[in-house]
Structure 1
Amino acid sequence: QRESFDSFSRVDYVVNPIHRFTVSLSVFPQKLDFFNLNSFNPADTTANFHQRGWFLALNEQAAFKSGGLLQSSFSVKQFDANIFGNSAAPYRIAPEGNFGGWFDRQHRESRRYEWLEVYHFALRHWHGLHVFKTGLNFSHTTFNGSNTSDPVRVVRADDTTSQLIEFVGGGKLRRRQNEYSAFVQDKWSINGRVTLDLGLRFDRDQISGTNNFAPRFGFVFLPTASERTVVRGGVGLFYDKISLNSGSFEQYQNLRVTAFAPDGVTVADEPRLFRNTAPGGGLENPYSIAANVQVDHQLTERLLLRVGYEERHTRRDFFVEPVSHQASTASALLLQNSGRSRYCEFQTLARLRFQEGRNILLSYVRSEARGDLNDFNTYFGNLRHPVIRPNQFGKQQFDVPNRLLLWGDFGLPYDIVATPVFEWRGGFPFSFLDEAQNFVGPRNAGGRFPQLMTLDLLVTKGVKIPFRGKKYKGRVGVTIFNITNHWNPRDVQNNLASPQFGTFYNSPDRSFRTKFEFVKF
């Protein structure tokens, strides 16, 4: 159940021929009730997510007689969030599903101040045309909140307790962060057929305390004089920010896990306290090395063909790893800063222009996504998972080897536009579990969901709305989802102890949604 409101306002003021000033304000409150509702989480067991937020930006632009352009901006963003359950009943995880009330409560208040200066130099001629740009950025972010959880019971098929998971500590969270960055960029047009994009970025933040330099290179090449073929590509190093949630890891509640014998009463292993432990040498920024190449060929005036390849390797990502020692007090939940992931895709695309501004596009993507699977957000994000098993490296949950998309927009009489979208793709992978919620075999290797096939359609009509002597343009319409009512399940019973093991559930039926766009000219 969703309730949201989005508002964006902007005021532009031309101070003089050189200076222009802009103020923009957006507000975006949202309520998502029962937002993890599915076949295994009844309404009373789900969580609610309520957010409040606003964004204010002041921008000033100065154009100089020399041809230079200075853009200055200052912004403030406030984002608050609350996550809470719908029932006070104890939370239980069973082979058949989850029962009771949601166990976790979160409250977050965050604010970010940011100042940005970007200077565009006048055009320079030296062995071609150079467009130089440089910038400085400073931001200050504060985060305050709490994350507290009630005990969780993992029960077997006969309803006896397998594990009791308790959360120890106050769960009060607080972190501040200063971030600094600078960049230089040169777009160098050597001639009409070769353009290079050269850049270097510097980043430093308060949590890691390290200086990170990231070079980047891109190119555009026209191999023939006809200019009907364009080759694009690039490679670069990209550093990620360290989230304040990761930086607050040791402030979260610690897990205390008690294992029980088959009778569900006798303690099989004394309670083990897993203390949240961050890397001893401090946190380092995750980084990615990404590269891509793409070839576009204008086969006819109306038909464009594209072939492309992209690959991205991520290192120093964050994941959690439970470590048990013989002494129960020496166990730990480690925040590891050595996570790896790899994503690659091969894409082909055809675009047919059959009306002015109207296109039909057909795309096929072959891809692979692998990485460490105990990523931080799975266990400490909005929807916390209380059962933490050893990390594995394998297929990501969003790994889809094959995907086909066909979409377009058709202009019809009476200012009607029809936009159909057809999608076919392979199913997402899933794991096998036993009744104690342990993974059986490699994770995400148990099987895949059935192939997804869906046809959606958006139809809108232009309208003019009179108001105070003026007419304002807008569009009204309707969206139809899954027109063919194809079986596209979103849930699977993957617990070997369930009589329904291997059954798929929760396919969305055909549905309708109205749409209204209001545009002031």
Structure 2
Amino acid sequence: FSLCICVCVFRPLLAQSRVTFTGVVQDESGAAVAGAKIALMRQISSQTLETTSGEAGRFSFEELSPGEYLLKAEASGFNPYEQILTDRPEVTEPFRINLKVGSVKTQVTVTLDDEDEVSTAQTNTTSLRFSNDLLGGLPTNSEDILPVLDRFIVPGTQGAEGTAILVDGAEGTELDIPSEAISRIRINRNPYSAAFQNPGTGRIEVSTKRGHRSYYEGSFAIHARNSLFDARNAFAKFKPDSDRRLMQAKFGGPLPGRQASFYIAAERLMDDESAVVNAVTLSGPFAANVPTSERVYRTFTRLQWWPSELHTIFGTYDFKNKSHENDKVGGFNLPEQGIHTSEYGHKFTLRDNALFTGNVRNELILSFQKERQNMGSPATAPAVIVKEAFTGGPSQSTGRETKTIFDMNDTVTRLGVTHSFIFGSRFRTARIDALDASNFGGTFEFSSLPLFAAGMPYVFRVSQGDPSVVFAVRETSGFVQDDVRVREGLNLTFGLRYSWQSITDDRNNLAPRFAFAFSPGPKRKTVLRGGAGIFYDDLPRAARRRSLLLDGIRIRHLVISNPSFPNPFLGGILSSSLPSITRVASDIRSPYLLHSTIGVEQELRDRISVSVEYTFMRGLNLFRSRDINAPLPATGMRPYPNFLNIDRIESTAFSRSNAVTISFSGRLGKFSRSYAKYVLSKSIDDTSGTFSLPADNYNLRTEAGSADFDRRHRFNFMQVLELGRGFQFGTIFSTASGAPFNITTGFDSNADTLANDRPFGVTRNTGRGPGTVQLDLRIKKVLVISHLWNDESRRGKQQVVELSLDAFNVTNHTNVTHMIGVLSSPFFGGANSADAARRFQVSLNYEFPY
């Protein structure tokens, strides 16, 4: 390859309309040059638009904001092409690039780290792509954008450990990098790809930024929020104090030799908030704002090297250090329940992309991660829990965990005219070194406030023994996929995936996948899409840890029914000689999700589409826990007399979901980018999670009910408006009907030592809470400052100052977070906590190219 660099300078009049830039690439004879790489980079940010010239040599970039751009073109066997274009806000004729034949000696920009979309089945209206510019225009907590992304994740498609998050192809469950390191985010890209374990609607794919090879750029930003301008939380007696400061910085550019680049981003969060306690004690209602403190420091470094025209390598290093004072306080948890938590970790990732021929690419990803989490300190006295009234005494949460994870992923892609094959494999091993000394101080549990006043707990629990354990979990998977272009307008995808996990040892996890996209007619305005597939899940590592610790040998549970108070050993039924244990069922299987969709997408006009999609999901072999040694209903005797409780983790639960989704995506006019999504759904299941125990261990039929996440109606809308004169207006609006909640008596009527019994005839999740409404807004002003240098090499470069004001929960709607379903609670039928009330945030961002 050879590279030509042209500087395209558009008038920096921010009130000007967006424009379209089109062109054609030709050789000296006038023949079209197909396959030329064209890149257009905006000077005031790191945004890069890329395309490839078609068979006729044509290319185009649409909806460009006025400003300064750097245009790059590259083609095999041609000399650099240089041309300065000035004052061209819009062209009526395609711009012609004439390339001259030359030798291959100059640098290249091969975007091997970008995902090539080889099938129209991968792009659809229901898929989302957040570019860096789009994220910058939306109201977000800049250090944590996951709450925004989670609004567009389909509940029920996540795994047992949460939404799958892939950063530069390396899979995890957290997004722990500075937001300034994010280049783009994709949700629901290629929903039925065999390359991934989760469906597209339960997967977030993040690509990080890289440094430019032709110039340096940097920025510094500060975001601030203070309770002086906030509204009072609905459950707080007084406005909670808060003072929040977030500082972010980035810097990147070429390394010596211009064959490599670097990019560094860092952020520091100092957040002093207040947790709202809303409880009832013997003295009456108790409401307090408890000061909390959070400190977060995160860095991201990316080094990228281009050894040749067909090869690129980059490595990243992530570091995080978090601490939280008075964690776990709020709601029913009284101030003395606060603990100190901390977390720090390192992660190294190496990604190697190589083009062996013109249509074969190999991608190798290696990652190493080490994290340590610390929580609380040893309790010196028992805790007291009064069901849905208050939790007092010292917190019983104490422990630490160190995770060491190695991950290797290799994928080969072969592109063809009719068939495009993708195959690959993954190996992952995790070593867990944990110490869990929770409840070593003991806990008294009461069914109601009157029984607490009378000193009559229904149970006392305490743990004793060795709380440490070390174990390993290994996972491996492989896949093959064929994307078939049957004819113009008809594409099919066939895939097969296999996965295995050491702690379940289920060896027949074959997951077939299929998808299609059909667009009839010559204009291709209508697309019929559909697909079906099987998606297996893994047993959470926490299940393995709990089964090893609570085996009756390492840790023994002392359980006293109806003990005396405050000294539990003066009376009651002593069961200390009978250990309570947790086991993983010997016949446990990997749960799987049957996922299928069918829909139609209609392009209303250029870049504006609407779609209607029906989704059916059926989950089988889902995880749940069950006490297989609970007292028999007829005799009250336990089946295994040598044990008290035997909580067995099983794969016997199910789920079922039906949903209709209407999506809108496009640009309304020249100044608006919008996305809207409405979902009508119904989801039922008979488990609330891996460690959730049923009300009746011998009658699981009453567990079937609305899923915890079941909200009949959900609507999400986001939009960024270009108002002219450098102003942007961003909106995120979300509303949903109420979620279900469980109704229980608060008493242990069946003597299984748990007060989760339900009234006669009441099944799980019978209650239904109120709906939610959240409106967030951002107004941003962009000021462009031209450099004063006269140096030709710096001509046209600009500095940018961005001023932003965010308003969260503008309508100050009370979005409750915990509905009370315990009949013995003074809060029954209501709520005692809610999301934050209306808040404001101001931001200042300074960007400087060099």
- Structures share fold, TM-score greater than 0.5: yes
* Aligned twin of 1:246: 543
Amino acid at match of 1:205: Q
**Counterpart AA for 1:62:** A
Q: Distance in 2 between matches of 1:82 and 1:313?
A: 38
**Following the alignment from structure 2 to structure 1, what is the Cα–Cα distance between the partners of residues 686 and 470?**
27
User: If you compute each CA radius of gyration, which structure gives the higher value, 1 or 2?
Assistant: 2
| AA matched with 1:509 | A
Conserved? CA contact 2:597–2:613, under 8 Å: yes
What amino acid is the match of 1:366?
L
Could you tell me which amino acid in structure 1 is paired with residue 495 of structure 2?
G
* Equivalence map 1:22-41=2 (5 Å): 22-41=314-333
- Aligned with residue 583 of structure 2, among 271, 277, 282: 277
Q: Sort the Cα spacing of 1:73 and 1:486 in 2 relative to 1 into closer, same or farther, 3 A.
A: closer
**Letter of the structure 1 residue corresponding to residue 656 of structure 2:** R
Does the alignment pair 1:63 with 2:355? yes
- Given that 1:214 and 1:237 are in contact with CA atoms closer than 8 Å, whether structure 2 keeps it comes out as yes
Q: Give the match for residue 382 of structure 1.
A: none
Per-residue CA deviation, residues 424-446 of structure 1 (Å, 9 max, x unaligned), is 21122112233433332445534
Structure 2 residue 489 is matched with structure 1 residue 193: yes
Listed as ranges, the matches of 1:43-442 within 5 Å are 43-84=335-376, 88-95=380-387, 96-123=389-416, 125=417, 129-150=418-439, 151-155=442-446, 156-158=448-450, 159=452, 160-209=456-505, 210-253=507-550, 254-260=556-562, 266-267=571-572, 270=575, 273-281=579-587, 283-301=588-606, 303-322=608-627, 323-325=629-631, 326=637, 329-331=642-644, 332-351=646-665, 353-356=667-670, 358-376=672-690, 390=697, 392-436=703-747, 437-441=755-759, 442=762
Q: Partner of 2:543: helix, strand, or coil? A: helix
One-letter code aligned to 2:600: V
CA 489–278 in structure 1, closer or farther in 2 if over 3 Å, else same: closer
Matched, 1:503 2:830: yes
| Alignment CA distance shift 1:103-1:184 (3 Å) | same
1:454 counterpart letter in structure 2: Q
Amino acid at match of 2:432: F
User: 2: CA distance between counterparts of 1:119 and 1:520?
Assistant: 39
Superposed displacement of residue 454, structure 1: 2.3
> What amino acid is aligned across from residue 816 of structure 2 in structure 1?
P
* CA displacement at 1:46 relative to structure 2: 4.1
CA distance in 1, matches of 2:621, 2:847: 45
How many matched pairs?
509
How far did residue 377 of structure 1 move?
Answer: 5.3
Alpha-carbon distance between aligned partners in 2 of 1:21 and 1:361, rounded to the nearest angstrom: 35
> Is 1:11 aligned with 2:303?
yes
TM-score (normalised: structure 2): 0.55
2-structure distance, mates of 1:227, 1:4 = 49
Alignment correspondent of 1:486: 813
Would you say the 8 A contact 2:677–2:716 is kept in 1? yes
CA distance in 2, matches of 1:277, 1:228: 55
Aligned to 1:383: none
Any conservation in 2 of the 1:118–1:135 contact (CA below 8 Å)? Answer: yes
The answer on whether the counterparts of 1:341 and 1:370 sit within 8 Å (CA) in structure 2 is: yes
Secondary structure at 1:190 match in 2: strand
Per-residue deviation, residues 484-518 of structure 1 (Å, max 9, x unmatched): 11232223343322334323333432112344667
For 1:207, the aligned partner's letter is I
CA displacement at 1:235 relative to structure 2: 0.8
CA change 1:230–1:122 in 2 (3 A) is: closer
Instruction: State the distance in 2 between where 1:169 and 1:87 align.
Output: 15
In structure 2, do the counterparts of structure 1 residues 396 and 85 end up closer, same or farther at CA, with 3 Å as the change threshold?
Answer: farther
Secondary structure, aligned partner of 2:667: strand
Is the 1:260–1:269 contact (alpha carbons within 8 Å) kept by the matching residues of 2?
no
- 2: distance between equivalents of 1:262 and 1:224? 80
Aligned to 1:384: none
In the superposition, the TM-score normalised over structure 1's length comes to 0.88
Query: What is the percent sequence identity of the aligned residues?
Result: 19
Aligned match for 1:449, one of 756, 769, 772: 769
RMSD: 3.1
**1:249, 1:335 within 8 Å by CA — same for their partners in 2?**
no
Task: Check if 1:513 corresponds to 2:810.
Answer: no
Q: CA deviation at 1:307?
A: 0.7
Distance 2:395 2:695 in 1: 17
Relative to its length, the structure with more strand (as a share) is 1
Question: What letter is aligned with 1:315?
Answer: L
Q: Residues 471 and 313 (structure 1 numbering): CA distance in 2 closer, same or farther, change over 3 Å?
A: same
Alpha carbons 1:396, 1:444 under 8 Å: kept = no
